[in-house]
Chains A and B, each alone.
Chain A
């Protein structure tokens, strides 16, 4: 129980298509994160699964049953809202008990379930308080408690941590991961924060402009992004993109022209590759001050010293925009407006064709989990 399928799900508001045909299978107990920029349709998709939005076309199937026309309560889902949506006039106890009161559960059952939920969420001391007396994190836990008491097969979270400050967000991330392990229920979680996606998800669904850009395990998306959108979206600071020309293909990969030098990028290249212009992607953290088969001279205009990392921002084409980013470990002695030579290895590079689709990388064993 707790299995979900989306089949060609479409949502239009008037003329505007927000979700443009999404297919997804979620297995029981999975923690799925929908991630994407504002307006990519991730919240709309979640609200369709919840039954708050009508599905324009396609099927939403939960445990083998098409639920498009069912009310939320009949779908076996529970939703936690971004704004918590607590009932301000009710105590924490009554807030958590609300779904049970609606279904007219006996008083003893209500007491037992609410107490159990409060215990999981460390809210035992707060049950008689009103939401107004609680901190942000506690309010969020009450909202989660209200979902837990219904024992749903699928939990839906709509950016539940975005109203919390950074430290609390980190704590709640761990709490939620722990809760997922404890309950074993399917969870679908919407966020625009890639750190939340990377840390909590079993699988991440990256959405872009109403389409699924890629579905995969967090490190899959990091190591093998299927297109420039995912490559740029996953990873912080974002991946650098440089135009390159392919000169040939070998058994080892695609040969590109790098400042007059032929370098082989280990990817599966198609036969038509030679002569084409590709986009080379290199992550800021894969650049070093020495070594690597490829070199690049840049003059950073802004340098950020974070202690654990030194991040430098530079322009490649001489304009004012600082599109090129380098992230070096530790405290490096780079200064703004002083040129440095950076090196990187071909094995860390990504290649994308003119349409932005990735040429699949040949990852050596040990360089990643896959």
Chain B
């Protein structure tokens, strides 16, 4: 009667066959809804341009090929450079966010100081604004600081908008580090900075990796609006602007655009895959009890 388990499966984890089918059906519907645009996008990148406008529209590519993945580099010659810019901007933003957020989150997690709730609430409020609402004041700020048409024009606002959520995320993680560790190190003569460096940072590293990943993805995906507004130099343009170049004067080269989109997110995927290896759980095992 029961499927997908053996004698050693705990009773609480056992399901009837119809429950298993229902669970997988649910997962399929959810995932399909989520991934359908990506599936379609990938299939579009495989089709010749002419097929995209044929009626009736065929979902599955006939005589599909990866040709678009090579012709895209010729149509937009600077594309690799745009991807590099995106990568550079996101990496710089992530580094800045981490440098600021790690000590800040520690302070918010461990110390109790006047105005803490206000500042944390302020962070939450700020992160409710989207960057688009603040474009004009930001533009004036960037101009006053002389940052227009530099990499900084995209890095600084990008980092600024990612800091609040990163602080909240890492603070929660750091609050779970037992304060007895601080006290023990303190009684042994360690300074606050020594404790932070030698005790807190290593234990918080999985949390820091999560924050780095979230920040990198965030920075990678939010560049469009800042790049469009604060930068007019082609050599500093990031990936979204590069994708925009596939919008021709008369028509959009959809198959190459889709191919470029997939190529463009590859570096981010690689970074995430790399960072994920450091996401080891249970680092605090053995600290207490």
Contact = CB atoms under 8 A, between A and B. Distances in A.
Interface stretch (A71-79, A233-241, A289-297, A356-364): A71-79
Residue of B183, B189, B283, B286 most packed against chain A (CB within 10 A): B286
B286 A77 contact: no
Contact of A132 (B181, B183, B282): B282
B203 interface: yes
Interface of B: 178, 180-181, 183-190, 194, 198-199, 202-203, 282-289
A86 B180 CA distance: 9
Contact of B183 (A85, A87, A134, A139): A85
Nearest to A130: B286
Contact of A87 (B189, B194, B199, B282): B199
9 contacts: A71-B186, A78-B187, A79-B183, A79-B184, A83-B287, A83-B289, A88-B286, A98-B188, A131-B286
Contacts of A86: 286-288
B188 A146 contact: yes
A81 B188 contact: no
B173 to A, nearest CB: 14
A37 B19 CA distance: 52
A67 to B, nearest CB: 13
A364 B104 CA distance: 68
A139 B286 contact: yes
Sort chain A's interface into a size bin: 20 to 34
Residue of A71, A83, A103, A139 most packed against chain B (CB within 10 A): A83
A105 B154 CA distance: 47
B287 A88 contact: yes
Contact of B289 (A51, A84, A99): A84
Contacts of B283: 88-89
Contacts, number: 83
Contacts of A12: none
Nearest to B180: A85
Interface of A: 50-52, 71-73, 77-79, 81, 83-89, 98-99, 102-103, 130-134, 136, 139, 146, 150, 163
A69 to B, nearest CB: 15
Nearest to B287: A88
A89 B202 contact: yes
Contact of B180 (A81, A132, A134): A81
Residue of B183, B185, B190, B282 most packed against chain A (CB within 10 A): B183
A136 B289 contact: yes
Given A83-B178, A131-B286, A88 B203 contact: yes
**Top 10 closest A-B pairs, CB basis?**
A73-B189, A131-B286, A132-B286, A132-B285, A85-B184, A85-B180, A99-B188, A72-B187, A83-B288, A88-B287
A99 B185 CA distance: 8
Nearest to A99: B188
A232 to B, nearest CB: 31
A93 B215 CA distance: 36
B194 A102 contact: yes
Nearest to A163: B289
A71 B287 contact: no
Nearest to B185: A98
Nearest to B282: A132
B284 A79 contact: no
B247 to A, nearest CB: 51
B285 to A, nearest CB: 4
Contacts of A85: 178, 180-181, 183-184, 287-288
Nearest to A142: B286
Contact of A72 (B178, B186, B194): B186
A98 B184 CA distance: 10
